[in-house]
């Protein structure tokens, strides 16, 4: 039985003035102990967020694949763990688009993070054009194809995020979400074997909010959410955590 996992992604939002939100969210995480909750904040907020979050894990939104070296402006996995981070997002579509990151880049980062003991959230998801062309499952399969045979939910989570649903207020139909999550689960089974695939949580991301969370979280093979805009305040994020606790 996979525990529900609700992860917030603050993206390039958040200053120390918002640490009160971290405290409130951590309080809700503690009150809903049947759900795993984490918050991925900007690099600058990791240390203070760790201090504010108590036992709730705090994560980063990117990591470099190399252990160290001449990579101006980048952060290594060891730096993240030293700062107190417990997880990291890799392969987010905003990095694929803005920094031209490939699936290979994302996987190299995942391996570096795993090597440093970080939990990895690997993102995948199609564009609107790919969806309209009926290519969703093929695109997502390519984006997770590098997952190795020893993949396991102890260190890996997948986030399915249709690019056209991120920050737009649009979402796929419930049938579409369930079908894509089922296809991801089947692909994980091909890559790592069914037993291991059944340990890996698959989160839905893209305009999840307090109004639609319960319905999405009830779908087959949806093990939680990766939430952007609605994770910025406890007012919007806590009802999603509570919906997960009831799912």
Binding site, by residue number, is 9-11, 167, 207, 228-229
Is 161 known to be catalytic? Answer: yes
59 lines the binding site for ligand G3H (CB under 6 A): no
Helical axes 19-31 vs 43-53, angle rounded to 10°: 50
Measured distance CA(48)–CA(20) in Å, rounded? 11
Nearest distance from residue 238's CB to ligand G3H, in Å? Answer: 15
Among residues 206, 219, 242, 243, the one that binds ligand G3H under rule CB under 6 A: 206
> Which one of 21, 161, 181, 242 is the catalytic residue?
161
Does 208 help bind ligand G3H (rule: CB under 6 A)?
yes
| CA distance linking residue 44 with residue 206, whole number of Å | 25
**Binding of ligand G3H by 124 (CB under 6 A):** no
Residue 157 makes contact with ligand G3H by CB under 6 A: no
Q: Shortest gap between Cβ of 224 and ligand G3H (angstroms)?
A: 12
> Which of residues 11 and 114 has its CB atom nearest to ligand G3H in the complex?
11
Tokens found for residue 8? 């917030």
Residue 60: name the closest of 5, 109, 99 by CA: 109
On whether the CB atoms of residues 60 and 109 are closer than 8 A, the answer is no
* 97 near ligand G3H, rule: CB under 6 A: no
CB of 193 to ligand G3H, least distance (A): 28
Contact between residue 200 and residue 222 where contact means Cβ atoms under 8 Å apart: no
DSSP 8-state code for residue 4: P
Is 122 a binding residue for ligand G3H by CB under 6 A? The answer is: no
Helix intervals (H) in 193-246: 194-197, 213-217, 234-246
Q: Determine if 62 is a binding residue for ligand G3H (CB under 6 A).
A: no
Closer CB to ligand G3H, 65 or 230, in the complex = 230
Residue 26 near residue 57, CB atoms below 8 Å:
no
Enclosing H/E stretch for 94: helix 93-98
Between 147 and 213, name the residue whose CB sits nearer to ligand G3H. 213
Binding site membership for substrate: which residues?
A: 9-11, 167, 207, 228-229
Q: Which residues are catalytic?
A: 92, 161
């Amino acid at each position: 039985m996979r525990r529900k996992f609700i992860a917030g992604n603050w993206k390039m939002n958040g200053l120390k003035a918002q640490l009160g939100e971290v405290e409130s969210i951590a309080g809700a995480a503690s009150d809903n102990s049947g759900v795993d909750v984490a918050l991925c904040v900007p690099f600058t907020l990791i240390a203070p967020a760790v201090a504010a979050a108590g036992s709730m894990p705090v994560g980063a939104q990117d990591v470099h694949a190399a252990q160290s070296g001449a990579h101006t402006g980048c952060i290594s996995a060891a730096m993240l763990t030293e700062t107190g981070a417990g997880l990291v997002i890799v392969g987010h579509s905003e990095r694929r688009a803005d920094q031209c990151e490939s699936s290979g880049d994302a996987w190299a980062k995942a391996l570096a993070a795993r090597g440093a003991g970080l939990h990895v959230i690997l993102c995948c998801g199609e564009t609107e054009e790919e969806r309209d062309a009926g290519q969703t499952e093929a695109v997502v399969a390519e984006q997770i194809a590098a997952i190795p045979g020893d993949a396991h939910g102890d260190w890996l989570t997948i986030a399915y995020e249709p690019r056209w649903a991120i920050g737009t207020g649009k979402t796929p139909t419930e049938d579409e979400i369930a079908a894509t999550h089922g296809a991801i689960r089947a692909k994980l089974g091909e890559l790592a074997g069914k037993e291991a695939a059944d340990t890996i949580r698959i989160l839905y991301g893209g305009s999840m909010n307090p109004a639609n969370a319960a319905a999405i979280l009830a779908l087959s093979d949806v093990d939680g959410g990766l939430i952007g805009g609605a994770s910025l305040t406890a007012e919007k994020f806590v009802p999603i955590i509570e919906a997960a606790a009831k799912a």
